[in-house]
């Protein structure tokens, strides 16, 4: 698993010459309703094992949660399942809100 900061992810998403990653948000429904990045794939952490078929093993996947702890667990799990291009967003949606997009509410 690799780590990526919010500013690094913002650069990646803005790079027209680079394929966009899957933004896998593993937070709960209520958290998504409170604050979310555009273009996410939402699968709550507890549902990941039963929904692996929804994720392409060859895709670059950035795991996202509130502060980065749950997403790190999911990223580690995905790697153990054979996903080779997995990143964890350090600081989670909170870092995205404070460092990249202040229009995303903090909670």
Catalytic sites, residue numbers: 65
Tokens (6 digits) for 56:
């392409």
Give CA separation, 2 vs 28, 61, 89, 102, in Å.
Answer: 23, 10, 9, 25
Place of tokens 């949606």: 93
Angle at 93 between CA 5 and CA 103, to 5 degrees: 110
């Amino acid at each position: 698993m690799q780590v990526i900061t919010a500013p690094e992810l913002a650069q990646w998403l803005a790079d027209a010459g680079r394929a966009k990653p899957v933004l896998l948000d593993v937070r709960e429904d209520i958290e998504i309703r409170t604050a979310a990045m555009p273009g996410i794939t939402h699968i709550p952490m507890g549902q990941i094992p039963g929904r692996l078929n929804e994720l392409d093993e060859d895709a670059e996947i950035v795991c996202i949660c509130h502060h980065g702890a749950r997403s790190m667990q999911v990223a580690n799990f995905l790697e153990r399942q054979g996903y080779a291009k997995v990143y964890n967003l350090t600081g989670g949606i909170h870092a995205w809100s404070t460092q990249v997009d202040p229009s995303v509410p903090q909670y």
